[in-house]
Chain A
Amino acid sequence: EIVLTQSPATLSLSPGERATLSCRASQSISSSLAWYQQKPGQAPRLLIYDASNRATGIPARFSGSGSGTDFTLTISSLEPEDFAVYYCQQRSNWPLTFGGGTKVEIK
């Protein structure tokens, strides 16, 4: 099973600041990684697929990068609605796995 490790667990930032979230895979997954955003009481929302492609309707302030084992989600300038939990997920191998999540909270 591929283990995804997200860091940090919590990121405390102010609106307008840049957020950098990390996801590390226990073995190479090429570019088969997605990022999701989840707000309290809501279902997750797909942000990025195949490591660097924004999903439909996702603002340009969200970007993804990386390949192999190291991946990054960057939010260039945090908007109030971006404070949420973010999960990475790999589709390279069965079983599919999610990272433990990074909570982006208001400082």
Chain B
Amino acid sequence: DVQLLESGGGLVQPGGSVRLSCAASGFTFSSYAMTWVRQAPGKGLEWVSTITTTGGGTYYADSVKGQFTISRDNSKNTLYLQMNSLRAEDTAVYYCARGTTGAAGTFETWGQGTLVTVSS
């Protein structure tokens, strides 16, 4: 079974940092682009960042550029999102998602999400 399991969320103070992880299983992780999507409470979906198969290409939403860093470790089948200088508006459920074989930007498989709450 293809599975994505996020971890690392929790309560963080404004200005703080957190690193999210997404453990992949059931497929050849190194063959797929990976993405983070977030959803603020009661709101819609927002694309955050995508990384190519080798990690050589990364893309970010303007809202997180310079603040978040996406990375991956293909030897560990794990995707990461380093989140710095967190603000209240970064409060959301963060999902990792796998691209399709033909398109990095179509999200075929999703994790269950991890909630990040930025509050003092």
| Contact status B108-A89, CB under 8 Å | no
| Contact status B107-A36, CB under 8 Å | yes
Binds B, one of A15-23, A42-50, A63-71, A73-81: A42-50
The size class of the interface chain A forms with chain B is 20 to 34
1/0 per residue, CB under 8 A from B, across A63-102: the answer is 0000000000000000000000001011100111111110
Residue of A nearest to B112 (CB): A43
B105 interface residue per 8 A CB criterion? yes
Binds A, one of B24-32, B39-47, B70-78, B80-88: B39-47
| Contact status A96-B105, CB under 8 Å | yes
B107 to chain A, nearest CB (A): 6
Chain A's interface: helix, strand, loop or mixed, by majority? Answer: loop
Interface residue count on the B side (C-beta < 8 Å): 24
B6 to chain A, nearest CB (A): 10
Given contacts A89-B45, A98-B47, whether A43 and B103 have CB atoms under 8 Å apart is: no
Which B positions have Cβ atoms within 8 angstroms of A? 35, 37, 44-47, 50, 59-62, 95, 100, 103-113
Which A positions have Cβ atoms within 8 angstroms of B? 1, 32, 34, 36, 38, 43-46, 49-50, 55, 87, 89-91, 94-101
